A and B are shown apart, each in its own frame.
With several copies, the nearest count.
Chain A
């Protein structure tokens, strides 16, 4: 599974993209976030923001959106275009 990070979150994590096999027990975005938080204190802190948005296959998703290993997941702070 490809996971992309944008904006401030990309800077906080020090990476814009990781590849990860979808682990057993990680069925939705909420569970993916919990799994990613185990990667270290920066991850724990950066991914705890309730305002964090997510997209699955380039469409806005929610915490309970289900995941497949072939998905492109993106995590990012609230958008500020326009």
Chain B
């Protein structure tokens, strides 16, 4: 089952994982990724604003999850992505994948993150404590990491 949430509210990672485990005895492994707001740049970060494209965001995450489910034998996929203003250390994203086998869970989780990073319509803007701002630039390495999955086809 695929569960997608795009929300301003924080999420409870433990609860998300319990949903993936819930009363099932065929789950062999669950691979999870969580991303947090980092404050490691030159200028101290005040907060980060996450802009998104309402409607398309949910559809894009759904499509990414469906591609993963076609590619690997998965049981459940849960994706939560936050929007709005987030503080350093705040959780941004949760991707959890359960499968009978750990290899499928690991691959699918990493695929979803790589695909999300290059396809889901989110944009980060950093607001520094000195009052200046900066849109986060997309990384070439994210494009390259996502391209690996095409080569493996």
Contact = CB atoms under 8 A, between A and B. Distances in A.
Interface stretch (B10-18, B67-75, B133-141): B133-141
Contacts, number: 76
B145 to A, nearest CB: 11
Interface stretch (A26-34, A38-46, A54-62): A54-62
B26 interface: no
A62 to B, nearest CB: 13
Mostly, the B contact residues are mixed
Contacts of B113: 82
Given A82-B92, A82-B113, A77 B135 contact: yes
A81 interface: yes
Contacts of B138: 51, 77-80
A21 to B, nearest CB: 23
Contact of A58 (B55, B92, B116): B55
Contacts of B51: 6-7, 10
A7 B113 CA distance: 21
Interface size class of A (residues with CB under 8 A): 10 to 19
Interface of A: 4, 6-8, 10-11, 51, 55, 58-60, 74, 76-82
26 contacts: A4-B53, A6-B121, A8-B123, A10-B51, A55-B121, A59-B59, A60-B60, A74-B56, A76-B123, A77-B135, A77-B138, A78-B137, A79-B120, A79-B122, A80-B122, A80-B123, A81-B81, A81-B92, A81-B116, A81-B117, A81-B120, A81-B124, A82-B92, A82-B113, A82-B117, A82-B120
Interface of B: 35, 50-53, 55-56, 59-60, 81, 92-93, 102, 113, 116-125, 135-138
Given A60-B119, A81-B123, 12 more contacts: A58-B60, A74-B56, A74-B121, A76-B121, A78-B137, A78-B138, A79-B117, A79-B119, A80-B135, A81-B92, A82-B113, A82-B116
